[in-house]
Amino acid sequence: MHETQGDWLPSRAALHPAGLYFSLREIEPAELQDAFMQETIARIGGRESIVQVAREDLGKGAEGCAPAGIIFHVARCGSTLISQLLKQHGGLVVYSEPLPVNEILLPPHKWARSELVAALRSLSIAFARHAGKRYVLKLTSWNTLFCDIVAEAFPLSPWILSIRDPVEVGVSLLKQPPGWLEEFSRFVDPDGASKSREEYVARLYGALCEAAARLDPRRGRLVPYESLPAAVWEIVAPQYSLSIDGEVRKRMIDAAGRNSKAPLGKDSSFEADSAVKRASSSSELQRAIELFARPRLRELEKRHAS
């Protein structure tokens, strides 16, 4: 990899027959206070540099560059709150839903699995150089479908899976569908059996749980939505070997009172909505959840309880 140091943030990635290309932006780690990394890039811009890793060099030199922790999640489940509270620590950098990871994992996978693993390791070199200290990757929700590839790339990195009641997740996904929702139907509903959008989002939740069940539970912890925000200092921080003193905890508590997804500089108060979501759920969604989502969630929880 071209020798880049300091403030060059990996903002894009492209798989090419000749190797892996990175777009780097000159953005300081301290600027990553937006809810999502791409929001910071859009807000700041910064000079751009393009670097290449030859295909035969993928993964080389990645020792010591793995993330201190990985955040997987099932969407609309408090994962952004977790990442925003971790930013209060000061001893690490948090990369929230980095586009380069998406671009490496996005199917159809034209590269062999071993090369995707190596590409993620090469990406970790760029993140480690940018951070200059320990860092955490908070991934996009659909990345959980391929969480075993990420775990293989970083076998020593501890992880958490942020989860929430599937009815509440389903209501949110139906009300505000993410742009990627239909793109992964071959992994969610390969036979096209879903009779409604409610059934599809229920199958999606089940597929995310099934994918997470492929991970080694000895390396990970489940973080239920209802355990937040205290779970950040009681579960997540110990999982990532982070010490939390009184001052850091106070900053986390203060940050938890704000809407974690609010645009930077436009703080708004957090408003609990679990009861509203459950009350607004349709009977069709509830039936689909009981058939396709909740059994997979219970199996996953049982796996982590044993």
- Is residue 187 over pLDDT 90? yes
Q: Please give the pLDDT value at position 177.
A: 97
Give the global pTM.
0.97
State what percent of residues in the chain have pLDDT above 70.
98
Region 55-71: mean pLDDT is 97
Do 15 and 118 meet the contact criterion of CB atoms below 8 Å apart?
no
Report the alpha-carbon angle 58-61-65, nearest 5.
105
Q: Taken in order 291, 149, 103, 186, is the CA torsion positive or negative? A: negative
Task: Give start and end residues of each alpha helix (H) in 74-184.
Answer: 79-86, 99-105, 113-131, 147-153, 166-175
Query: What is the percentage of the chain residues whose pLDDT exceeds 90?
Result: 94
> What Å distances lie between residue 96 and 44, 64, 91, 226, CA to CA?
16, 21, 16, 21
256: amino acid identity, one letter? A
Using CA atoms, how far residue 125 sits from 5, 36, 134, 183, 196, in Å, is 10, 20, 12, 29, 43
Residue 92 scores a pLDDT above 90: yes
Q: Which residue has the higher pLDDT, 79 or 271?
A: 79
- Map tokens 């791409």 to a residue: 38
pLDDT (average), residues 247-262: 96
Phi-psi category of 192—alpha, beta or left, where left has phi over 0 and alpha has psi -120 to 50?
A: left
Strand partners, 20: 15, 53
Q: Which domains does the chain have, with CATH numbers?
A: 62-305 (3.40.50.300)
Place of tokens 């096209």: 192
Give the mean model confidence (pLDDT) for residues 4-33. 92
pLDDT at 3 over 60: no
Q: What is the pLDDT of residue 266?
A: 87
Q: Residue 28: which of 11, 49, 6, 13 has the closest Cα?
A: 6
For the chain, helix (H) and strand (E) counts, in that order, are 14, 8
Question: Residue 5 has what pLDDT?
Answer: 54
pLDDT of residue 2: 47
- Eight-class DSSP state of 33: T
Angstrom CA distances, 300 to 50, 163, 216, 294, stand at: 41, 11, 11, 10
Tokens 């089940």, residue? 206
* Mean pLDDT of all residues belonging to the chain: 96
pLDDT of residue 191 exceeding 90, the answer is yes
Strands 134-138 and 159-163 come out as unpaired
CB atoms within 10 A of CB 251: 16
Residues 162 and 79 sit within 8 Å (Cβ to Cβ): yes
Burial 52-82 (b: 16+ CB within 10 A, else e): ebebeebbeebeebbbbbbbbbbbbbbbbbb
Sheet of strand 48-54, all strands in order from the earlier edge strand to the far edge: 8-16, 19-26, 48-54
Q: Measured in Å, how far apart are the chain's first and last C-alpha atoms?
A: 43
Whole-number CA gyration radius for the chain:
19
In whole angstroms, what is the distance from residue 131 CA to residue 125 CA?
A: 10
Q: Is the pLDDT of residue 162 over 60?
A: yes
